[in-house]
Amino acid sequence: MKHHVEYMESARDDLAGLDNSVAQVVRKAITKVSTNPLPKNEGGYGSPLGNKNNAKLTNCCKIKLRHHGIRVVYKIVKDKNVMKIIVIAARADDEVYEIAASRLNSCSVTRT
């Protein structure tokens, strides 16, 4: 079942800051994953996250765009069939996970 995609305001800014060709690839990947955003261990496309260097990202998943060095971190709101995009960032060590944890902690709307 396809999930509705919602972006945190800061994630929209992340997407807007990308080169247009890279942004297109990111949008296409998000659209594909939204058809089944569940973690891979539940039959979906998402790579599940847990705790990454003190960044508590349990119940979140990532999309890796290796060729472009981009990661997208999202959370599934199952009762509303929503895929909430938290961060879209270049893969710089674990910085993307720290950003995601910070955004989740500052915005109670994304917690489930």
Tokens 């910070």 belong to 102
Question: Whole-angstrom Cα distance, residue 11 to residue 17?
Answer: 10
The H or E element containing residue 5 is: strand 4-7
- Could you tell me which CATH number the domain at 4-107 has? 3.30.2310.20
Token reading at 84 = 């909430």
**C-alpha span between 91 and 65 (Å, rounded):** 9
As a whole number, mean pLDDT of residues 89-105 equals 82
Range from 7-11, 24-28, 92-96, 102-106 carrying the lowest mean pLDDT: 92-96
Q: How confident is the model at residue 90 (pLDDT cuts 50, 70, 90)?
A: confident
DSSP state of 45: S
Q: Categorize the per-residue pLDDT at 50 as very low, low, confident or very high, splitting at 50, 70 and 90.
A: confident
User: Where do the domains of the chain lie?
Assistant: 4-107
The pLDDT value recorded for residue 26 is 95
The model carries a pTM of 0.86
Q: What is the pLDDT of residue 84?
A: 94
pLDDT band at 109 (very low <50, low <70, confident <90, very high): very low
pLDDT band at 52 (very low <50, low <70, confident <90, very high): low
Residue 37 vs residue 55, higher pLDDT? 37
* Residue 56: both structure tokens together: 């508590």
